[in-house]
Amino acid sequence: MNWKSFLIGVGVGLASGYAARELLSLKTPVTPEKALANIKDAFKQEGPISGSWIHMKSEPYEKGHLKYQVYKGGISRFSGEEAEQFEFIADAETGTILDIFPLQ
């Protein structure tokens, strides 16, 4: 076996494996758990969280004539003695927060 051919084959295999991984990561939607983790990280900057939930199945959503597949969920926290609850809508493709609504 020729070492030069072997090393070229290894290099091509590594490069194609890396390219395939990058392409798959672009096409793979965010899991509901990851979307919820993004929301919780954003809320933790304001203070501790007392609870959270998320629907595990994405659903269609339209905002400003743009159509998305989204996850809906909620999060609660205490602001002093008072409990605050919020509903959120997160893009299922990127995990980006699209809307947050306070619940009363």
Q: Which pLDDT band holds residue 85 (cuts at 50, 70, 90)?
A: very high
Comparing CA positions, the residue from 72, 47, 50, 74 lying closest to residue 61 is 72
47 vs 43: CA distance, rounded Å: 7
Domain ranges of the chain: 1-29, 31-103
Mean of pLDDT over the chain: 86
* Span 46-78, pLDDT tens digits: 888 899 999 999 999 998 888 999 999 999 988
pTM: 0.69
Residue whose entry in the numeric block shows the structure tokens 């798959």: 24
Topology of the domain comprising 31-103: Nuclear Transport Factor 2; Chain: A, (3.10.450)
